[in-house]
Chains A and B, each alone.
Chain A
Amino acid sequence: MKKKIFSWWYLHSGRSKKSEEMLRLMSIGKGPSIADAVTNEKETPEKLVGVSEDGLIKVKRVGAYSVKE
C-alpha cells in the first residue's frame, strides 16, 4: 500500500518525467530496448518512429527542443 501511494505521488508530483507505461516497461527490463528504439529513430528522423533491435519496442517522436548556451 505504501509503495502504491509512493508510486502515485512520484508520478503526480512532477518529479517523474516518465509515464506509468514507461515505468512498467523499465521495471520488466525493457529500458535498453527503449534506448535502442530512440537511437534507431534518430538515425531516420524523417520517419518520426523508431523500433528497437529486438522489435518489441516502438517509439514515436512527439516534439523536440534545443537549448544552447
Chain B
Amino acid sequence: MSLAVPTLTLIFLLAPGVSYRYAYYSGAFSQQYFKTSFSDLLIAAILPAVIIHAILFYCVVQHYYEIDSKTIGVLLSGITEPANVKAAFSNLYYNAKEIYIYLAGASILAAAAGAAIRSLVRGLRIDRIWEPLRFQNRWHYLFTGEILDFPGQLGSPEEVDFVYVDALVDCDEGSVLYSGILADHILSKDGGLDRIYLSYTKRRYLKENDKEGMKYYSMPGNLFVIPYSKILNLHITYYSFEDANSELVSKVDKGS
C-alpha cells in the first residue's frame, strides 16, 4: 500500500476538524485559519476532529453501526499484506455510502458548531474579556475599538463612531505625518498588518512643527494607501459624535 492511502484516510478523518476551524475562524479572523503548510492545517484540525468524532460516536454511531477498527487501522498504518488490504478495501466498497454520509454529516455539523461557538464567543465578548479565547488578529481589536472592552481599559466600543489614524512615515524629504479616517486595513500572510486605507487624508511635514501655523495639505482621492512597512509610528484615536450631529443629519435629510 502506498503512502497516499494513509494520508488520504487521515485527510478524510480530519475533514470535520478542518470544517470546524474554517467556520470558527471566519470573517475578520480568517487569517488564523490558514497555516503555513498543509500539514500544519491538518495538525491544527486534530483536536476538533477527535472531539466531533467522539460526540457523534457516543450520540449516534454506536446505536446504529459497528465501527470496523481493524479496517481503519489497516488504512492508517499503511500495511502492505495483500489479504488485509483486500479485506479493508472490500469493506470500504460495501460501506461507501454510509461512510460518505457520515463524513459529510460530521463536516456539516462541525461547521455549524464552529459558527455557533464563534457567535457565542463574539456575542458574549468572551474573547475580549478572557485572553485564551482571544483571536490572533489583534489589529481587528485595535482598529474597531473593541480593545476598549479589554480588562483595565477605559471607554466602550459602542461609543466609537469612527477611527482616526496618524501614521508617521519616513521619506527622502523627512518624516511625514499622514492623518485620516481609517477606511480599511489588510493583513499580511503571517497575520501582521500589510497596509492601511485612509480617507480624507491630510499630510504634514514634521520639520514644520517649529513654524507657526502648521500646514496640513489635503491629499486628493477617495482613499490613501500606506504600506505598514513604511510606517514608523501609528497613533490610533477613537472618536464619537456629539448629539448635535444627529440634528444636522435630520435637517439635511429633510432638506434633501
Contact residues of A with B, CB < 8 Å?
13-15, 17-19, 21-22, 24-26, 28, 30-32, 34-35, 38-39, 41, 49, 56-69
Contact residues of B with A, CB < 8 Å?
27-28, 140, 142-145, 147-148, 153-156, 159-164, 179-184, 199-200, 202, 216, 218, 231-242, 244-246, 248-249, 252-253, 256
Query: In the complex, A61 Cα to B162 Cα: how many Å?
Result: 10
State which of A26, A28, A38, A68 has its C-beta within 8 Å of the C-beta of B239: A38
* Contact between chains at B234 and A21 (CB < 8 Å): no
* Contact between chains at A69 and B241 (CB < 8 Å): no
Query: In the complex, A44 Cα to B92 Cα: how many Å?
Result: 74
Query: In the complex, A68 Cα to B142 Cα: how many Å?
Result: 13
State which of A24, A35, A58, A64 has its C-beta within 8 Å of the C-beta of B237: A64
State which of B181, B231, B238 has its C-beta within 8 Å of the C-beta of A35: B181
* Contact between chains at B236 and A64 (CB < 8 Å): yes
Q: Which residues from chain A contact B182 at a C-beta distance below 8 Å?
A: 17
State which of A18, A22, A24, A63 has its C-beta within 8 Å of the C-beta of B148: A63
Chain B min CB distance to A68 (Å): 5
* Contact between chains at B200 and A28 (CB < 8 Å): no
* Contact between chains at B140 and A14 (CB < 8 Å): yes
* Contact between chains at B183 and A17 (CB < 8 Å): yes
Q: Which residues from chain B contact A14 at a C-beta distance below 8 Å?
A: 27-28, 140, 144
* Contact between chains at B162 and A28 (CB < 8 Å): no
Q: Which residues from chain B contact A26 at a C-beta distance below 8 Å?
A: 199
Q: Which residues from chain A contact B183 at a C-beta distance below 8 Å?
A: 17
State which of B27, B156, B179, B236 has its C-beta within 8 Å of the C-beta of A66: B236
* Contact between chains at A34 and B162 (CB < 8 Å): yes
Query: In the complex, A62 Cα to B149 Cα: how many Å?
Result: 13
* Contact between chains at B235 and A66 (CB < 8 Å): yes
Chain A min CB distance to B134 (Å): 15
Q: Which residues from chain A contact B232 at a C-beta distance below 8 Å?
A: 68-69
* Contact between chains at B233 and A31 (CB < 8 Å): no
Other than the given A60-B239, A62-B148, A64-B238, 14 more pairs (CB < 8 A) read A17-B162, A17-B184, A18-B162, A18-B163, A19-B161, A25-B241, A34-B162, A39-B202, A58-B245, A60-B242, A62-B145, A62-B238, A67-B235, A68-B233
